[in-house]
Copies of this chain bind each other. A is one copy, B any other.
Amino acid sequence: MATPAKVSKPEGKNNHENADEAADKEQQEAIEQIDEVQNEIDRLNEQASVEILKVEQKYNKLRQPHYSKRSDLIAKIPNFWVTAFVNHPQVSALLSEEDEEALQSLTKVEVQEFEDIKSGYRINFHFDVSNPYFENDVLYKEFHLNDTGEPSSKASPIKWKAGKDLTKKNSQIKGRKRSHEEQESFFSWFGDHLDAGTDELGEVIKDDIWPNPLQYYLASEIEEEGVDEGEEE
């Protein structure tokens, strides 16, 4: 153990040397005992984490058939996912017109939490053959902690069709909704591995959209904002 950074000592050292030594010894013993108590607390914390992980894993399994059934139902609704994304304020801000066009081919989203939940998650995006932008049937992005505990991510390389790479077009191009913002493509996210520890889009999809995408699909109030029906609130 390191020594404390700052422990105030009585000042008259010569007069009270024995008393000082006794006090120092008592403090040192107290520090060692705190360290032992701390080990007990750490052990309990680890046990608690293990038990909570088991609960999470149990419910992940129980949720799975419902997620499958939900995916089958969502597949019956054209443009379900692009509508949910457009209706989500944070995701919508990332979407160019062309992104939205590409996302019309998005038929299925899957979020997989890994068995050891702390170790990460993966999002699969399934596209159908109508997609005019890229060849991939599935794009994924995956987040995990590597052996040294640092967050990292990997993702599908996108096989863009000729002249269709949305990540290479810049904001001069027309048809972007919000040309006053720095506008990247949604699909740039698949090539961005700098903030794996706090991937905002990944976390929004996993924690906000995935638990209940229907609410965003149905969230027509957001759409009303930009509507030109002459209505003033």
A residues within 8 Å of B by Cβ?
Answer: 1-8, 26-27, 30-31, 33-35, 37-38, 40-42, 44-45, 47-48, 51-52, 55-56, 58-59, 62-63, 66-67, 69-70, 73-74, 76-79, 83, 86-87, 104, 211-212, 214, 217-223
Can you add 14 more A-B contacts, CB < 8 Å, to A6-B223, A7-B77, A27-B77? A5-B86, A5-B87, A5-B218, A5-B222, A30-B77, A31-B217, A33-B73, A34-B70, A34-B74, A38-B70, A38-B214, A44-B62, A44-B63, A48-B55
Q: Which of B6, B83, B218 meets A2, CB within 8 Å?
A: B218
A161 to B207, CA, bound (A): 49
Pairwise interchain contact A217-B73, C-beta atoms closer than 8 A: no
Taking CB atoms, residues of chain B closer than 8 Å to A48 are 55-56, 58-59
Pairwise interchain contact B55-A41, C-beta atoms closer than 8 A: no
Pairwise interchain contact B76-A30, C-beta atoms closer than 8 A: yes
Residue of B nearest to A87 (CB): B5
Pairwise interchain contact A59-B47, C-beta atoms closer than 8 A: yes
Oligomer copy total: 2
Pairwise interchain contact B51-A55, C-beta atoms closer than 8 A: yes
A222 to B4, CA, bound (A): 11
Check A211/B45 contact, CB under 8 A, given A30-B77, A77-B27: yes
Pairwise interchain contact A44-B66, C-beta atoms closer than 8 A: yes
Tell me the minimal C-beta distance from A49 to chain B in angstroms. 9
Taking CB atoms, residues of chain B closer than 8 Å to A221 are 2
24 contacts across the A-B interface (CB closer than 8 A): A2-B220, A3-B220, A4-B83, A4-B217, A4-B220, A5-B222, A6-B86, A7-B79, A8-B78, A8-B104, A26-B76, A30-B76, A31-B217, A34-B70, A34-B73, A38-B70, A40-B66, A41-B66, A41-B67, A44-B66, A48-B58, A51-B55, A51-B59, A52-B56
A63 to B197, CA, bound (A): 30
Q: Which of B1, B3, B211, B218 meets A3, CB within 8 Å?
A: B218
